[in-house]
Amino acid sequence: IATKTNRIVKLLDGYKTKVLDTRKTTPGLRYLEKWAVRIGGGLNHRIGLYDMILIKDNHVDYAGGITNAISQANEYIKRTERELQIEIEVRNLQELKQVLAVGNVDRIMLANFDLHALREAVRLIDGKFLTEASVGIVEDNVTAYAACGVDFISMGELTHSLKSLDLSLKAC
C-alpha cells in the first residue's frame, strides 16, 4: 500500500492535487492500511463515519434533495455542537450548480465525472470549495484527473485492490 501510494504521489508531483484513500479497507486492518497510505505520502480521507459528514447520492435522495440534505447536516452540527466538515457528492453539473447555490459545505466530491465535465466543474467552483475527484481513477489516468485542477483525488485502489507479495519462509 505504501509503495503504491508513493508511486501515485510521485505521478502527482507538479500538480496541486493530493491523493486520498477511502474507507474501503480490509476488515480489521483499517488503521494499518491507512497508516501505510500516510507512509507512502498520501492523505487519509477519513478514518470512519464519525470524523466528517459525507453526504452521498443516496443521502441526497433520501433527504428529498440537495438543499434538504445540506440543511439537515448543518442542523445536526449545530444541535450536537460538533466540529465536523461537510462534504457532498455530486453526480453531474446540474447537481453541482444546486450545491453552489446552497453553499454551507466544505468540500465537493465530483464522482464519476469524465475529464471534460471535471474541468468545467472546477471552473464553476472557482476555488470557493475544496474539490475531490473520485470513482474510476487509477494509476494510469490519475495525472489526467490532476491536470483538471482538483484539490484531491480519492482512490479506493490504494487499499482494496492490491495483492500482497507472496513470500514463504521454509526451514531446512
Per-residue pLDDT of the chain (172 residues; tens, 9 = 90+): 999 999 999 999 999 999 999 878 888 888 999 999 999 999 999 888 889 999 999 999 999 999 999 999 999 999 999 999 999 999 999 999 999 999 999 999 999 999 999 999 999 999 999 999 999 999 999 999 999 999 999 998 888 666 665 556 676 6
- How far apart are alpha carbons 2 and 44 in whole angstroms? 12
- How far apart are alpha carbons 39 and 21 in whole angstroms? 12
Whether residue 142 contacts residue 136, with contact meaning beta carbons closer than 8 Å, is answered with no
Helices then strands, each counted (H, E), the chain: 8, 6
Residue-level pLDDT at 148: 98
Residue-level pLDDT at 164: 61
Q: Which residue has cell 478514518?
A: 47
Residue-level pLDDT at 162: 62
In 10 A of CB 82, how many CB atoms? 11
Residue-level pLDDT at 159: 80
As annotated, the active-site residues are 24
User: Is this model's pTM higher than 0.85 or not?
Assistant: yes
